[in-house]
Amino acid sequence: MTIQKILLQFEPKRKNLLSALHEVNKQFGYISNQNSYKICDYFSVSPSKLYSFITSSDVLRDQKPPLLEIKVCSGGVCKMKGADKVIKEIENFLKIKADKIYNGKVEFKKISCLGKCLVGPVVIINGTMYEKVNPSMVDDILKNYI
Amino acid sequence: MQEKLITKNWDKIKPASIESFINYGGYLQLKNCVYKNKKPNDIVDQIDESGLRGRGGAGFPTGKKWKIAKQNAQKNKKDVYFIVNADESQPGTFKDGRVIEKNPHSIIEGAAVASYALEASKVIIYVNGHHKDYYETLKNCVNLAYERGFLGKNILDKNVDIEMQVVLGSGGYIFGEETTLINSLEGYRGEPRMKPPFPPELGFLKNPTVVNNVETVINIPIILEIGAAKYKKIGCQESNGTKLFSVLGAVKNPGLYEAPLGITIRDLIYDYCGGLEKSKQLDFVQVGWMGNFFTQEKLDYKLSYQKKQGNALVGLGSVLVVDKDTDIRDLVLAWSEFFQRESCGQCTPCREGSYRLLNIAERLKNKQVFEKDLQNIKDLNEVLEKTSFCPFGCFIAQCWKGVLDLKQKELFKNL
Ligand SMILES: Cc1cc2nc3c(=O)[nH]c(=O)nc-3n(C[C@H](O)[C@H](O)[C@H](O)COP(=O)(O)O)c2cc1C
Ligand code: SF4
Ligand code: FES
């Protein structure tokens, strides 16, 4: 679907901005600079306001999604169950540090509790959730993606 | 043991099926309202009399909130909006998510009854942006309710309109705060607004708006079913009804439990969760939010919304049992990372303070604290408590205060 078609599904009122952005994000994986301007035109919002809206959200992206997106819960309960060791193991495997490097191909983030604490530590890779992860499972899980 | 109200039919109901929900008494209270032509204000009175308090953390009396919104609507000739807050993202809390997994239609019925009582022009269910599955579930439920005539124009062929929409939220802890949630719905950046005016005065699109937590909403049909008087008898003074508790940590059976408010921490842990895991020794229990700690001698404190000696304020009902093998430094670091990550950045004390405190938490973890750090924590706490724009900043201060009260000696012993 083109950006115009997506936008036309929504009345051009600011209260529809969130839902429209989710739709664009879903179709293209992110909200590109080019599309941003079209969105701004359509909803009569300034680019700076749009940018500030998108960047306050955890799920809307203003950058192309990476090939490999890894998120690890670093909430208290997952930590009590050994999430830090899982994070170390992933760092060793990929040779990058969590929350530090972003090269467009791999993104590795620590995230806040998602309420899955009963089955923690939880790791989410490209949208798939892995539960009760321990360090010895990390190699096998990551091999599916590399 | 108290009979179950909220979770009563959870094992029997097929969550995706509206028939299954109806077979177990679903939509009966909405039908009652509509067919018996109940006066909306009578329902508001009934909710007020039941003593129901909001389950979204602060425990504000629900009936009172509804009345303020209705009065404002009347006075200013405005529409009331009703928003269901399904943004749950407090660490260690999973009650609202479980309601969506186990009995999602109950949320739709509760919201519909609330809309009837408030004579609201629209209901919006705001779902945490991280949980697309919950969003799809609730959207399906709402569609089914429209098909069955429980929602829409002239519902159940009577002269009552109830409109409902499910919205996928922005994702992020601060969006659970009601004015941030409203900002995000209106297309503005996710940051809290100045209060007052409070949403029941001036909320969504400048209309009086009631924001209620998912668990608050599902209590509404229950109150109509059993009656306000009976509901008020459950629980304890100023905290009526049952509550969902997310219990985690060093207990034999962690999980979600429904128990009457006023229950002691001890009873919850030992009667409901099977006590501590074998060979684990209790260090402390954290209730509701970070820093609200209770040690062995305080296990008989009652879980309640009333601030008084001998009570443990429940907040969202999360209970984390921490044993002596757990290093408090790991928890402090997890909490500090959370605060730094989730601060919306609008005000300096919280944006900068959360970052500085994370630095200190990292030094604590590496056992390399400086002499200055202790005083810095205290100073930052004072600034956060006195000057931060929204309660989030105070949550940070409360967390560190709790940590220092309990563990200062242990954490700073190398100095
Ligand atoms: C920082 C912050 C986060 C909050 N997060 C939530 C949340 O995730 N869910 C929720 O229902 N209420 C949350 N609240 C409380 C809401 O602002 C609001 O008071 C609540 O939804 C009202 O519902 P109730 O009256 O049914 O409790 C939060 C408040 C603050 C200050
Ligand atoms: S206290 Fe924190 S979360 Fe609240 S407005 Fe300030 S920066 Fe934002
Ligand atoms: S702490 Fe990891 S899911 Fe809750």
3-state secondary structure chain A: CCHHHHHHCCCCCHHHHHHHHHHHHHHHCCCCHHHHHHHHHHHCCCHHHHHHHHHCCCCCCCCCCCCEEEEEECCHHHHHCCHHHHHHHHHHHHCCCCCCCCCCCEEEEEECCCCCHHHCCCEEECCEEECCCCHHHHHHHHHCCC
Mean pLDDT of chain A: 94
Nearest to A19 among B90, B93, B167 (CB): B167
Assess B130–A contact: CB distance below 8 Å, yes or no.
Answer: yes
DSSP string, B365-383: HTT---HHHHHHHHHHHHH
Average pLDDT along chain B: 96
B18 has a chain A CB within 8 A of its CB: no
Q: Which residues of A touch B333 (CB under 8 A)?
A: 79
pLDDT score, position B360: 97
pTM over 0.95: yes
d(CA B269, CA A100) in angstroms, rounded, equals: 40
| Ligand 3 pocket residue status of A68, Cβ below 6 Å | no
Q: Is B96 in the pocket of ligand 2 (CB under 6 A)?
A: no
Which tokens in the block code for residue B290?
């970070």
CB nearest to A75's CB, from B167, B171, B338: B338
Q: Write the pLDDT tens digit of every residue in B328-386.
A: 999 999 999 999 999 999 999 999 999 999 999 999 999 999 989 999 999 999 999 99
Instruction: Output the six-digit token pair for B60.
Output: 């504000």
Task: List chain B residues with CB under 8 Å of A76.
Answer: 91-92, 320, 330-331, 334-335
Q: Is B85 on the interface with A (CB under 8 A)?
A: no
Of the ranges A88-102, A129-143, B196-210, B228-242, which one carries the lowest mean pLDDT score? A88-102
Q: Is B330 in Cβ contact with A79 (below 8 Å)?
A: yes
Query: Quick check: CB of B351 below 6 Å from ligand 2?
Result: yes
pLDDT, tens digit (0-9, with 9 covering 90-100), for B88-135: 999 999 999 999 999 999 999 999 999 999 999 999 999 999 999 999
Token pair of B212 as six digits: 């209620």
* Angle ∠(B213,B305,B82) on CA atoms, nearest 5: 20
CB of residue B55 inside a 6 A radius of ligand 1: yes
Q: Is the pLDDT of residue A102 over 90?
A: no
Confidence of residue B413 (pLDDT cuts 50, 70, 90): confident
Side-chain-side CA neighbours of B353 within 13 Å: the count stands at 30
pLDDT of residue B356: 98
Q: Can you tell me whether residue B90 is helix, strand or coil? A: coil
Distance from CA of B254 to the nearest CA of A (A): 7
Q: Verify whether the Cβ–Cβ distance A80 to B186 is below 8 Å.
A: no
Q: Which residues contact B375 (CB under 8 A, 6 or more apart)?
A: none
Mean pLDDT of B2-11: 92
pLDDT of amino acid B315 = 96
B148 DSSP β-pair partners: none
| Mutate: best of B185, B193, B247, B365, partner A, most A CBs <10 A | B185
* pLDDT over 90 (residue B415): no
| Contact between residue B197 and residue A27 where contact means Cβ atoms under 8 Å apart | no
In this structure, which ligand is nearest to the CA of B61?
A: 1
Residue B171 with chain A: CB contacts under 8 Å: 57-60
CA-B390 nearest atom, ligand 1: 31
Using a 6 Å cutoff on CB, does residue B343 contact ligand 2? Answer: yes
SS3 B232: helix
Residue B1 has pLDDT above 70, yes or no: no
Question: How many whole angstroms from A116 Cα to the centroid of ligand 1?
Answer: 20
CA-CA distances (angstroms) from residue A43 to A33, A52, B184?
15, 15, 15
Taking the CA of residue A93 and the nearest CA in chain B, the distance in Å comes to 23
Model confidence over A18-61: pLDDT tens digits?
Answer: 999 999 999 999 999 999 999 999 999 999 999 999 999 999 99
Q: How far is CA A30 from CA A27, A39, B128, B151, in A?
A: 8, 13, 19, 34
Query: Using CA positions, which residue lies closest to atom 18 of ligand 1?
Result: B178
> Per the CB < 8 Å rule, is B248 touching A19?
no
pLDDT bracket for residue B202 (50, 70, 90)? very high
